[in-house]
């Protein structure tokens, strides 16, 4: 008994310290155990206030609104009937993405991939030839618009939907990398990043990017740990992904009804992003009374007004801060350039989409796991859309028939042979070998003296799907979703509008694999699963297209001189933020 009392007296101070330490820590409301202590296993509850606002973004407080066309349908499209929906709060760029932002993006790609994978840089180049029109002299814009400093604050154009998404992914990684540097966790070392050895948010979370650490890291309370760890998603330090806005988000933000509401009533309906039903400023006595509120075509042949009193100060696009913002603080949500959104186009979207966060275009993916259940190694090679590469080469050969030399034709034939071998490798699940064959084809192009070699290299580059440093992802399968009721298949783009179940051929097995069963693309319609919605009017449009409810579509691989984009970001947590509470 005396031994027991003596032993207890020796350990009593330690026990008291542990008890006091646990008393000073926050405890679980579920189990009563203290957080953030090795004694209890090290489960952490990190301090968190609210989401940081990323560079260039404005918080858009969500809510309900009437989405769709609420004015005369002068083109008789009948593809956007009004319906009431709700969008959650989110962030959106206050301006369109500008030329200087895109040049920054190209510079980074050149620094990372330029030596080993120049085709990745080529893929990101905007199509400056979109300025050409057969009966217009626009060659100066072809040469100067993207790179001349006079246009640096103008919206970037000639960017297709796929390129816009690549920019969003790049922007996410650069912003989160800077946050880690700012917080003293990583060293700024751009020279050390090359090819696959560069920072991406996904690779960092997966433990596949270490970089040069500026400090030990965050405290790690797990027993047996080194005492420090990398940032995790649970810390709330890194931001969600930049992305394109959905059609509903873009339209909601453009209307800016927050400035026309009192309590729960929308007191004044808007036709345009500004108040009133006129395209001119009707604030009688105001400084800008009588001026056009956006950059669009006023009438036949009138792109900018009369000399001495140019109304919109722009024959083409204008600087992104040229006009007053709407009630959310967003610039040029009418005119200047139309803007890409995430959605796949369907004329009957209004009848199919949900009333909460409506969107068409979901393709569910998951990270590839290794045999041990961990996230598989990131790519250290370029991944191509091999059927797409084959399609491009075949079409190029057809359209150039009779104009190719023997050298040209041999080059195309050799490249098609690489595609055939690569497709066979894919059947045998030899993905790396398949993509290496296409890369060998790119090397063959570089060493060729054929005058069509640059065309082929640029064309194949457009079908790059993943670049070195990206994590491996795959579409989910029906087999792994056997017991799900909310979804089964990965690709839900044509759900209820184009899929087999919604077609007139339901029950006829021979039509099940026909992708054009409902929309006969290229014959009776231009609608398919690659048709993406774009919103708003541009410098070349009449006032009708400036109305937020208008919608048009374009193939995701195409671009033009009137189409740009801006980024959005999901808002996590409170829909209003502390500054509004």
Q: At what angle do helices 161-182 and 99-113 cross, to 10 degrees?
A: 80
509/163: higher pLDDT: 163
Please check whether residue 399 lies inside any domain of the structure: yes
Instruction: Tell me what pLDDT residue 499 has.
Output: 79
Phi then psi for residue 169, to 5 deg, are: -65, -45
Please check whether residue 458 lies inside any domain of the structure: yes
Q: Does pLDDT of 11 surpass 50?
A: no
Strand 265-266 to strand 261-262: parallel, antiparallel, or no bridges (unpaired)? antiparallel
Mean pLDDT of the region 527-548? 93
Q: Does pLDDT of 3 surpass 50?
A: no
Residue with tokens 């054009």: 516
Alpha helix ranges (H) inside 81-153: 99-113, 118-124, 139-144
Instruction: Tell me what pLDDT residue 338 has.
Output: 98
Please check whether residue 446 lies inside any domain of the structure: yes
47/243: higher pLDDT: 243
Of 119, 180, 107, 209, residue with least CA distance to 470? 209
Q: What is the mean pLDDT of the chain?
A: 89
Q: Does pLDDT of 439 surpass 90?
A: yes
Instruction: Tell me what pLDDT residue 581 has.
Output: 43
Domain boundary among 466, 483, 509: 466
Q: Does pLDDT of 1 surpass 60?
A: no
441-488 per-position pLDDT tens digit = 999 999 999 999 999 999 999 999 999 999 999 999 999 999 999 999
Please check whether residue 530 lies inside any domain of the structure: no
Of 4, 2, 164, residue with least CA distance to 565? 164
Whole-structure pTM value: 0.92
Please check whether residue 215 lies inside any domain of the structure: no
Domain boundary among 413, 443, 466: 466
Mean pLDDT of the region 158-165? 98
Please check whether residue 117 lies inside any domain of the structure: no
Contact 251, 342 (CB under 8 A): no
Q: Does pLDDT of 360 surpass 70?
A: yes
Confidence grade of residue 285 (pLDDT, cut at 50, 70, 90): low
Q: Does pLDDT of 38 surpass 80?
A: yes
- Categorise residue 379: left if φ over 0, alpha if ψ from -120 to 50, beta otherwise: beta
Query: Is residue 389 classed exposed, middle or buried when 0-12, 13-18 and 19+ CB atoms within 10 A define those classes?
Result: buried
Instruction: Tell me what pLDDT residue 17 has.
Output: 37
Lowest mean pLDDT: which of 58-67, 284-293, 310-319?
Answer: 284-293
Please check whether residue 431 lies inside any domain of the structure: yes
Please check whether residue 177 lies inside any domain of the structure: no
126-146 per-position pLDDT tens digit = 999 999 999 999 999 999 999
Q: Does pLDDT of 522 surpass 90?
A: no
311-348 per-position pLDDT tens digit = 777 899 999 999 989 999 999 999 999 999 999 999 98
Domain boundary among 466, 491, 525: 466
Number of separate domains in the chain: 2
Show the domain range for 31. Answer: 2-40
- CA end-to-end span of the chain, whole Å? 61
């Amino acid at each position: 008994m005396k031994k027991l009392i003596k032993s207890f007296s020796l350990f009593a101070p330690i026990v008291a310290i542990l008890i006091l330490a646990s008393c000073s820590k926050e405890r679980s409301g579920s189990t009563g155990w203290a957080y953030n202590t090795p004694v209890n296993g090290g489960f952490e509850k990190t301090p968190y206030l609210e989401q940081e606002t990323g560079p260039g973004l404005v918080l858009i407080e969500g809510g309900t609104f009437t989405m769709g066309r609420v004015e005369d349908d002068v083109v008789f499209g009948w593809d956007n009937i009004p319906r009431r929906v709700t969008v959650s709060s989110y962030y959106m760029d206050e301006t369109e993405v500008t030329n200087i932002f895109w040049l920054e993006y190209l510079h980074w790609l050149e620094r990372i991939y330029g030596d080993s994978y120049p085709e990745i840089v080529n893929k990101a180049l905007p199509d400056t030839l979109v300025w050409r029109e057969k009966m217009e002299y626009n060659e100066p814009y072809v040469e100067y618009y993207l790179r001349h400093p006079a246009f640096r604050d103008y919206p970037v154009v000639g960017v297709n939907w796929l390129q816009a998404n690549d920019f969003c992914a790049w922007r996410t990684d650069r912003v989160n990398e800077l946050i880690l540097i700012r917080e003293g966790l990583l060293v700024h070392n751009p020279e050390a990043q090359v090819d696959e050895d560069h920072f991406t948010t996904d690779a960092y979370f997966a433990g596949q990017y270490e970089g040069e650490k500026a400090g030990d890291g965050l405290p790690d309370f797990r027993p047996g740990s080194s005492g420090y760890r990398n940032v995790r998603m649970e810390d709330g330090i890194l931001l969600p992904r930049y992305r394109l806005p959905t059609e509903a988000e873009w339209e909601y933000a453009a209307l800016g009804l927050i400035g026309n509401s009192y309590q729960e009533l929308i007191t004044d309906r808007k036709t345009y992003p500004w108040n009133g039903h006129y395209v001119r400023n009707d604030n009688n006595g105001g400084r800008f009374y009588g001026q056009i509120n956006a950059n669009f075509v006023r009438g036949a042949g009138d792109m900018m007004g009369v000399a001495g009193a140019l109304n919109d100060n722009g024959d083409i696009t204008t600087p992104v801060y040229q006009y007053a913002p709407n009630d959310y603080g967003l610039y040029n949500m009418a005119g200047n350039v139309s803007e890409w959104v995430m959605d796949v186009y369907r004329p009957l979207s209004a009848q199919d989409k949900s009333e909460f966060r409506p969107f068409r275009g979901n393709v569910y993916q998951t990270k590839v796991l290794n045999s041990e259940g961990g996230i598989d190694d990131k790519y250290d090679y370029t991944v191509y859309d091999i059927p797409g590469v084959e399609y491009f080469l075949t079409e190029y050969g057809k359209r150039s028939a009779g104009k190719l030399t023997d050298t040209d034709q041999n080059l195309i034939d050799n490249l098609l042979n690489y595609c055939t071998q690569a497709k066979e490798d894919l059947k045998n699940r030899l993905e790396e070998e398949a993509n290496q064959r296409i890369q060998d084809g790119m090397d063959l192009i570089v060493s060729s003296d054929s005058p069509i070699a640059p065309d082929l290299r640029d064309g194949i580059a457009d079908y790059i799907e993943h670049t070195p440093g990206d994590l491996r992802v795959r579409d989910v399968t029906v087999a792994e979703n056997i017991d799900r009721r909310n979804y089964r298949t990965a690709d839900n783009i044509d759900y209820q509008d184009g899929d087999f179940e919604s077609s007139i051929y339901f029950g006829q097995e021979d039509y099940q694999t026909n992708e054009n069963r409902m929309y006969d693309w290229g014959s009776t319609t231009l609608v398919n699963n690659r048709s993406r919605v774009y919103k708003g009017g541009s410098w070349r449009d009449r006032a009708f297209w400036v109305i937020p409810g208008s919608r048009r579509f374009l193939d995701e691989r195409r671009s033009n001189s009137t189409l740009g984009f801006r980024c959005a970001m999901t808002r996590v947590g409170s829909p209003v933020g502390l500054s509004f509470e």
